[in-house]
A and B are shown apart, each in its own frame.
Chain A
């Protein structure tokens, strides 16, 4: 009886592993393989190896397309991710500290407001209007602020949950030893938050890097764009030119692929901590 089930579950496991071939590997193989083909060869959309290996030309073309646009947009995307995550980590952890440690009416109200932000969709056009008023519409600083504001509720809630596990006695001991509140935050609390900070950084960088909607709205009138907008424009310009298109797809995804290979465990852990809401 036990043996029989063992055999069945083994067969099922092999089946599940084999299932990843058509569901995932064929997709990746198809994209990578086609990115090395000439245009005519690629348009046949087959899984056969390239007739002529045209990879160097395809990738060089994408990299230099429209005055090295890929490099510029990649730079913008990395700058956007770096700045918004940097600001996000500091402002949301500081807010979380105050909201978690202090109990009064203002804090309770702020809490509710932030919780609502987890569910309510962002109102794009009035936001654009506010940015316009501030003179930040279609600028990188404006977009950075939008990303920070969009990610703020999630990050604050994550920090708040984690702060609950840090006993108040630590704060009190530090303050009795003559630590100022600012020192308390920077030297005591912030280092203790490291695990959750790492999770926020990894998880939210992926979100900002892959964000399409915010750059599409708030940078629509700007000449500097992010990679997600680049790949969209490229797609519009090269309909059915799959060799070039897929080369661009791979180049744009490369930072995330590297992140996944290098920080595999951390990325998946961060994803989980970041998704389990408080």
Chain B
């Protein structure tokens, strides 16, 4: 059989794909560990040990960036996981406007981060329409993007506005694959909608929760362009994240230091996402017996 496999499915068919992936993705990932410990100008690299990491952690901007990245990733992720699930359950509950709501929630997903940032710049501007609206209730103008107290919060809200569609759609797909017979049986036993949600829907939707959780957490830890376009990392370092720090180090030519930043991001993503992923999966197996 194995011999037949070789003839039927010649290995070279997989070579182009794997070659591109390994050369452009895998090898750079591996060598980054070495380059993170060097002073590097793309041509010559001098080994300096852990000096880059030392420098990285001693900079104020990078320290706040680390904290901000965690806050940003966890807030956007949990909001998407929860709001997405609630919206999807509501849309799937057989309401008339389900299709309309689905389209509305989904559309922003198709827009580019920078375009969304530009639009919200006009809305969250100190004289923007949000403050004009709040002024009607006697609330003083809030500097949503230029006050360090609110800037991160605004970035999180904009990201949830844009990214909620994906989460909701994944949940809708998960919900529509749950067999109706569970709910019919529950209806005979006189279960309330709340009981339905917690006893039937939630345990069976765990795989979708895991998908949304993983995708939005990884996304939140990596991205920077929307925040960068909204606030430029400011005011001060209040919205600086790892991604924007790495880009800034790259553009000023500190390649070794920027790679050290990448390695830190790599470690954070792996240390959070891999265990979380298996934890949620295990929880799902426990519940489903």
Q: Could you list some 10 contacts between A and B, CB below 8 A? A: A23-B161, A24-B104, A91-B16, A125-B262, A126-B28, A130-B28, A148-B20, A235-B121, A253-B111, A277-B211
Chain A residue contacts of B274, Cβ below 8 A = 119
A45→B25 contact, CB < 8 A: no
Chain A residue contacts of B109, Cβ below 8 A = 206, 271
B173→A272 contact, CB < 8 A: yes
Classify chain B: how many residues form its interface, as a range.
Answer: 35 or more
B122→A242 contact, CB < 8 A: yes
A27 to B120, CA, bound (A): 8
B247→A217 contact, CB < 8 A: yes
Binds A, one of B46-54, B198-206, B250-258: B250-258
| Of B14, B22, B129, B166, the contact of A99 (CB 8 Å cutoff) | B14
Which residues of B1-60 are within 8 A (CB) of A? 2, 5-11, 13-14, 16-18, 20-29, 31-32, 35, 42
A219 to B111, CA, bound (A): 21
A242 to B129, CA, bound (A): 13
B14→A94 contact, CB < 8 A: yes
Mask for A234-272, Cβ within 8 A of B = 1, else 0?
010000101001101100110011011000100110011
A146→B24 contact, CB < 8 A: yes
Chain A residue contacts of B110, Cβ below 8 A = 206, 210, 253, 256-257, 259-260, 267
A123→B114 contact, CB < 8 A: no
Most chain A C-beta atoms within 10 Å of own C-beta, residue among B7, B173, B277: B173
Which residues of A62-93 are within 8 A (CB) of B? 87, 90-92
B18→A119 contact, CB < 8 A: no
Chain B residue contacts of A98, Cβ below 8 A = 9-11, 13-14
Chain A residue contacts of B259, Cβ below 8 A = 123, 125-126
B236 at the interface (CB under 8 A from A): no
A20 at the interface (CB under 8 A from B): yes
A178 to B20, CA, bound (A): 32
A212 to B230, CA, bound (A): 14
A272→B172 contact, CB < 8 A: yes
A117 to B20, CA, bound (A): 13
B170→A275 contact, CB < 8 A: yes
Closest chain B residue to A226, Cβ basis: B112
Could you list 12 further interchain pairs (A-B, Cβ under 8 angstroms) beyond the known A45-B132, A210-B113? A17-B100, A23-B161, A92-B17, A119-B274, A121-B266, A125-B262, A130-B23, A132-B42, A156-B17, A231-B118, A235-B117, A268-B106
With A123-B29, A125-B259, A132-B42 as contacts: A185 and B119 at CB distance below 8 Å: no
With A123-B32, A213-B225, A259-B110 as contacts: A152 and B2 at CB distance below 8 Å: no
Binds A, one of B74-82, B148-156, B180-188, B213-221: B213-221
Chain A residue contacts of B211, Cβ below 8 A = 275-277
Chain A residue contacts of B11, Cβ below 8 A = 98, 102, 106
Residue positions of B touching A, CB distance < 8 A: 2, 5-11, 13-14, 16-18, 20-29, 31-32, 35, 42, 90, 95-97, 100-104, 106-115, 117-123, 125, 127-129, 132, 161, 165-166, 169-170, 172-174, 208, 211, 214-215, 218, 221-225, 229, 243, 246-247, 250-251, 255, 258-259, 262, 265-266, 269-270, 273-274, 277
A235→B118 contact, CB < 8 A: yes
Chain A residue contacts of B127, Cβ below 8 A = 44-45
Chain A residue contacts of B29, Cβ below 8 A = 120, 122-123, 126
A101→B9 contact, CB < 8 A: yes
B13→A264 contact, CB < 8 A: no
B229→A235 contact, CB < 8 A: yes
B269→A119 contact, CB < 8 A: yes
B126 vs chain A, min Cβ distance (A) = 10
Closest chain A residue to B106, Cβ basis: A268
A121→B100 contact, CB < 8 A: no
A158 at the interface (CB under 8 A from B): no
B270 vs chain A, min Cβ distance (A) = 7
A245→B118 contact, CB < 8 A: yes
A216 to B173, CA, bound (A): 34
